[in-house]
Structure formats: structure tokens, C-alpha cells
Structure 1
């Protein structure tokens, strides 16, 4: 064992997981034209809860 972790997660979400781990704030997915992207926000929320990091 080399103490490595394998995290099976959508690679597009991984940068947001790192953001959360650094700042303890979920990013707000907002676009002036389209408004809030609730789909990506809820998907990210599900992942951080699944991995018990929230």
C-alpha cells in the first residue's frame, strides 16, 4: 500500500471537489444569460455527500 486514494468521479466535477476542499464553499454555477445551473450544482452536492466530505 502506498497510501494513495482512487476516487472514481466525473473528471469534469473533480476541479469543483478540489475547490470545495480548499475553501469549504460549493461554487455557484451562474451564467448571466442562463441563470443558475442547478443540474451541475445538485450533481456536485451529491458527490461531496457520497464521499463524506461535506
Structure 2
């Protein structure tokens, strides 16, 4: 897990459940719920941007 930015969120910015997951270069900005939620094993998540989400 590397290269993440989370700002002004009111809940989980990045939530990961599982084994052997790889997350790189993700940005979460101004969300009021879960910005990025990953469940499972062996996931590759990279270069995602979540802005102003409401849940």
C-alpha cells in the first residue's frame, strides 16, 4: 500500500479486507462515506480518484 491521499472525509477513506491486495496512487477527497472499499484476495487497485462522494 503506497501513495495514498485522504482528505476531509467523514468516514472510512480507504477500507481493505482480505489478503495479498495491492493499492497504489489512490486519492480520496471530501467524501462522507466509504471512498474506496475493497474486499477479497489478490486485488490490484491503482490510480483511482474519488471526489465528493455522499453515502
**TM-score normalised by L of structure 1:** 0.21
Which structure has greater helix proportion? 1
Higher normalized contact order (CA 8 Å, seq sep 6+, divided by chain length): 2
**TM-score normalised by L of structure 2:** 0.21
